[in-house]
């Protein structure tokens, strides 16, 4: 275990570990707040990443618009009234602790410092600047009083003294940084800022577009929460999965940008001073799940913060590998934070999972698989190699079968029961560890071949892989979680870590390893559909990989089941969604949203397994809501982009775009053929035309050219 309090047992806001927390609150106190309100609407426009609030009060129409500026890095609020000089309100900032707030001419200023046990915590500052072309703005105590305005803009900036390049605190004044944000955008109007920010956002958002045919008349005009209630009853709403998909992409675009920190447990939407589990980075699935939709939905560049964060863990991870295991390479365990924490957690039953760093490296390798960017691979290959060297260094020979296994380790947050009744967590060779070893060893072998380096080490790995403990089916037909066929202490446990090989890794597929796929299905049946929000999201991906779209849809409905608000921690709660579509873990965690978005993409397009075979509509549900639709912008491994259209549950046509010009392997539906952009029939690698064939789908492989478009009809 880690020394001392570690993460503060999940409550580290006042410990050195720290906590991601709210900056504070901005209050708009209306002078006529007692007047009744009518016609109230509040909408998040996913097409523009903007909030619009409209209502009528005291005979005037009030409109509020809010957006975070993707160009100028400030928050804008525009308040307007249909009545001339109709806006009258007080403006104030609030933070309950560790901050000083004052008002000065035209602006509010907040400055503070977080505790860390040594009076050296992060310093922060925020400024709210008021622009009122027609009204008056006066200072009254710690508030600003705005009167007789027709339109008011609020420009909000914030900064800290955190240096992302070093993961440490600077001497720089965060107030100066906050002022610079405002100064650089001083001449920009609200309208111009909105237009440029929307354009920057839509550069990402429009990369993938999904449409489903039909819309229930009963849904028109309903709130999101009312739609969730209907959906939970099994009623039709073809557009709700599309909305959830778009919401997930909006969340990723908004919480992950190149050069910044990756999205954390709450993405970046924290309302608390002590967020659940410190709002940090959990590396036994949660941080990784945040980025599952990135490559699939055309947002791979937005995973840059994750890749860089992984690289930044290496320095501390080498020290941890040497201190705890006396071995080479680098390791990260279950929890991490902006200070690049890599030690085990403070509880051995959960904190000693040792594959967090290697799992992060899976995202590096996946980015290469999707993009085939050798420059990226060359930059990050040392990170992968270091994680593999650590695992190589801790392998031991288990005494019964002489397999090589990791030890000591555990299967994340779960426990076993031995035949003699002993219950424990620490173990050698849990299935997930062995799968991750095979994945990263094989990835490093392929990467070293592509980059022309480390030939001798590649031979070492080639000799190790066959000796690793294999996937095993138990007496009940399920996939063993442990090296031995021991009982699970909690048969319905939320983690299903031993199916890592099914998803996100792809060494288990129904068409290449059918026996293991059957064992994986049995495991999912034993675990059941219950679980917390992110657990349900993971199961959507599992069932999609098994080609069972109906079961995936059943879990999607569970994930969208409406849940009342609240942040009470209940690890065995049923999950679901809050009224604003945030995932109710419970409490709120962003990973369920991202995992659900990825699951929807996996239901429509897959490209895993040996040969990275593309499968179109591999888990399309049989439900009538899903019978007709079209989607563009989904990505497949090998540098391919897909556009598809289907009707009556069958593929009608598709267009494949080859970004890299590599050979493409694809399941071609019966009766379909492939032509290029000039209408010429495509030939396979042997030069034979890919003629339509009746009967069953088949795998075909054909060469492509960079930028080439190929039509499947």
Polymer length of the chain? 713
Residue 640 lies in a domain: yes
CATH number for position 304: 1.50.10.10
Contacts for 22 with CB less than 8 Å, ≥ 6 apart: 270, 271, 272, 273
Record the tokens describing residue 196, joined without a space: 């440029």
Q: What is the dihedral of CA 414, 419, 423, 424, to 10 degrees?
A: -60
* Burial (CB count <10 Å: 0-12, 13-18, 19+), residue 491: exposed
Residue 439 lies in a domain: yes
Q: Which among 644, 675, 646, 640 has a CA at the least distance from the CA of 661?
A: 640
**668 & 567 share domain:** no
Given a cut of 90, whether residue 697 has pLDDT beyond it is no
Query: Residue 1 CA to chain centroid, in angstroms?
Result: 28
**255 & 111 share domain:** no
Longest CA–CA span in the chain (Å) reads: 84
Given a cut of 90, whether residue 117 has pLDDT beyond it is no
Q: How many domains are there within the chain?
A: 3
**601 & 673 share domain:** no
Record the tokens describing residue 98, joined without a space: 């560790």
Cβ atoms of residues 175 and 227 within 8 Å: no
**156 & 263 share domain:** no
Q: Per-residue pLDDT tens for 297-324? A: 999 999 999 999 999 999 999 999 999 9
How far is residue 307's CA from residue 311's CA, in Å, rounded to a whole number? 6
Given a cut of 90, whether residue 689 has pLDDT beyond it is no
**138 & 276 share domain:** no
- Quick one: average pLDDT of 496-510? 97
Percentage helix, strand, coil for the chain under 3-state DSSP, each rounded to 5: 30, 25, 45
CATH number for position 695: 2.60.40.1180
Q: Which domain holds residue 647?
A: 627-712
- DSSP state at residue 119: S
**641 & 697 share domain:** yes
Q: pLDDT tier at 693 (50, 70, 90 boundaries)?
A: confident
Q: What is the pLDDT of residue 571?
A: 40
How far is residue 238's CA from residue 627's CA, in Å, rounded to a whole number? 9
Residue 615 lies in a domain: no
DSSP annotation string for 224-253:
HHHHHHHHHTT---TTHHHHHHHHHHHHHH
Residue 24 lies in a domain: no
DSSP annotation string for 242-286:
HHHHHHHHHHHHHH--TTSPPPBTTBT----SS-GGGG-EETTTH
How far is residue 165's CA from residue 162's CA, in Å, rounded to a whole number? 9
How far is residue 158's CA from residue 713's CA, in Å, rounded to a whole number? 53
Q: What is the pLDDT of residue 566?
A: 52
Segment among 298-307, 331-340, 489-498, 562-571 with least mean pLDDT: 562-571
Whose tokens are 């901005």? That residue is 26
Q: Per-residue pLDDT tens for 198-257? A: 999 999 999 999 999 987 778 988 999 999 999 999 999 999 999 999 999 999 999 999
SS3 state at 562: strand
**635 & 596 share domain:** no
Identify the sign of the CA torsion 636, 303, 329, 1: negative
**656 & 605 share domain:** no
How far is residue 482's CA from residue 207's CA, in Å, rounded to a whole number? 42
Cβ atoms of residues 479 and 473 within 8 Å: yes
Identify the sign of the CA torsion 710, 603, 498, 522: negative
Residue 3 lies in a domain: no
Record the tokens describing residue 641, joined without a space: 């982009």
pTM value is 0.96
Residue 78 lies in a domain: yes
**545 & 506 share domain:** yes
Average pLDDT, the chain: 95
Q: What is the dihedral of CA 600, 603, 607, 613, to 10 degrees?
A: -170
How far is residue 304's CA from residue 310's CA, in Å, rounded to a whole number? 10
Neighbours of 610 (CB within 10 A): 12
**250 & 117 share domain:** no
Contacts for 53 with CB less than 8 Å, ≥ 6 apart: 40, 41, 42, 43, 62, 63, 64, 65, 66
Q: What is the pLDDT of residue 569?
A: 44
Given a cut of 80, whether residue 118 has pLDDT beyond it is no
Q: Per-residue pLDDT tens for 411-443? A: 999 999 999 999 999 999 999 999 999 999 999
* Burial (CB count <10 Å: 0-12, 13-18, 19+), residue 7: buried
Record the tokens describing residue 674, joined without a space: 């492939």
High-pLDDT (> 90) share of the chain, %: 90
**696 & 648 share domain:** yes
Q: Per-residue pLDDT tens for 438-485? A: 999 999 999 999 999 999 999 999 999 999 999 999 999 999 999 999
- Enumerate the β-bridge partners of residue 709: 657
CA triplet 78, 82, 87: central angle to 5 degrees?
Answer: 60
Q: Per-residue pLDDT tens for 562-618? A: 987 654 444 445 689 999 999 998 889 999 999 999 999 999 999 998 899 999 999
Query: Residue 265 CA to chain centroid, in angstroms?
Result: 9
Residue 580 lies in a domain: no
DSSP annotation string for 474-489:
-TTSSBPSSSS-PEES
Q: Per-residue pLDDT tens for 53-104? A: 999 998 999 999 999 999 999 999 999 999 999 999 999 999 999 999 999 9
Residue 661 lies in a domain: yes
**565 & 648 share domain:** no
Segment among 141-145, 234-238, 289-293 with least mean pLDDT: 234-238
CATH number for position 117: 2.70.98.50
């Amino acid at each position: 275990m880690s020394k001392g309090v570690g993460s503060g047992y999940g409550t580290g806001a006042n410990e050195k570990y720290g906590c991601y927390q709210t900056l504070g609150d901005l209050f708009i106190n209306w002078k006529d707040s007692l007047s009744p309100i009518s016609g109230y609407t509040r909408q998040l426009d996913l097409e523009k990443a903007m909030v619009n609030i409209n209502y009528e009060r005291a005979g005037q129409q009030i409109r509020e618009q809010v957006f975070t500026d993707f160009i100028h890095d400030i928050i804008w609020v525009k308040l307007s009234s249909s009545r001339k000089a109709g806006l009258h309100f007080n403006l104030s900032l609030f933070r309950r602790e560790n901050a000083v707030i004052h008002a000065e001419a035209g602006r509010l200023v907040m400055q503070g410092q977080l505790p860390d046990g040594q009076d050296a915590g992060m310093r922060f500052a925020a400024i709210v600047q008021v622009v009122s072309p027609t009204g008056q703005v006066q200072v009254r105590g710690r508030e600003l009083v705005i009167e007789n305005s027709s339109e008011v803009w609020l420009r909000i900036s914030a900064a800290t003294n955190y240096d992302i390049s070093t993961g440490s605190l600077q001497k720089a004044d965060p107030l100066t940084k906050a002022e610079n944000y405002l100064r650089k955008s001083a001449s920009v109007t609200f309208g111009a800022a909105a237009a440029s920010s929307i354009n920057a956002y839509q550069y990402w958002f429009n990369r993938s577009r999904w449409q489903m045919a039909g819309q229930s008349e009963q849904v028109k005009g309903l709130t999101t929460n009312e739609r969730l209630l209907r959906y939970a009853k099994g009623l039709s709403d073809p557009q709700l999965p599309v909305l959830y998909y778009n919401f997930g992409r909006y969340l990723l675009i908004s919480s992950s940008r190149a050069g910044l920190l990756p999205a954390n447990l709450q993405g970046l939407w924290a309302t608390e001073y002590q967020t659940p589990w410190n709002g940090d980075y959990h590396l036994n699935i949660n941080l990784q799940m945040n980025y599952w939709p990135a490559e699939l939905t055309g947002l791979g560049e937005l995973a840059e913060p994750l890749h860089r964060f992984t690289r930044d863990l290496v320095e501390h991870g080498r020290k941890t590998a040497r201190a705890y295991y006396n071995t080479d390479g680098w390791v990260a365990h279950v929890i991490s934070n902006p200070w690049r924490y890599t030690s085990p957690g403070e509880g051995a039953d959960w904190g000693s999972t040792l594959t967090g760093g290697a799992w992060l490296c899976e995202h590096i390798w996946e980015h290469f698989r999707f993009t085939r960017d050798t420059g990226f691979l060359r930059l990050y290959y040392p990170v992968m190699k270091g994680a593999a060297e650590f695992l190589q260094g801790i392998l031991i020979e288990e005494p019964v079968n002489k397999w090589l296994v990791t030890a000591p380790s555990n299967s994340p947050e779960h426990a076993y029961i031995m035949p003699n009744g002993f219950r424990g967590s620490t173990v050698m060779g849990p299935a997930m560890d062995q799968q991750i070893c095979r994945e990263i060893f094989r990835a490093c072998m392929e990467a070293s071949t592509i980059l022309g380096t480390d030939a001798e080490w590649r031979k070492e790995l080639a000799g190790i892989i066959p000796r690793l403990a294999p996937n095993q089916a138990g007496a009940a037909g399920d996939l063993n979680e442990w090296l031995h066929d021991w009982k699970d202490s909690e048969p319905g446990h939320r983690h299903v870590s031993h199916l890592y090989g099914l998803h996100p890794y792809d060494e288990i597929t129904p068409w290449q390893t059918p026996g293991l796929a059957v064992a994986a299905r049995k495991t999912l049946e034993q675990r059941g559909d219950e679980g917390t929000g992110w657990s349900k999201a993971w199961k959507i991906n599992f069932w999609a990989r098994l080609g069972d779209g109906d079961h995936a849809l059943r879990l999607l409905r569970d994930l969208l089941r409406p849940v009342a608000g609240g942040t009470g921690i209940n690890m065995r709660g049923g999950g679901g969604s809050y009224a604003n579509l945030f995932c109710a873990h419970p409490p709120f965690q962003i990973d369920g949203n991202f995992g659900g978005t990825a699951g929807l993409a996996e239901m429509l397009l897959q490209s895993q397994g040996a040969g990275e075979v593309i499968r179109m509509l591999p888990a399309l549900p049989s439900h009538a809501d899903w019978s007709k639709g079209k989607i563009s912008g989904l990505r497949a491994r090998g540098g391919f982009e897909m556009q598809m259209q289907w009707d009556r549950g069958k593929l009608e046509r598709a267009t494949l775009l080859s970004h890299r010009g590599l050979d493409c392997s694809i399941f071609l539906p019966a009766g379909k053929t492939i032509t290029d952009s000039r209408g010429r029939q495509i030939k396979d690698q042997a030069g034979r035309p890919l003629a339509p064939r009746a009967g069953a789908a088949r795998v075909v492989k054909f060469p492509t050219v960079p930028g080439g478009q190929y039509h499947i009809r």
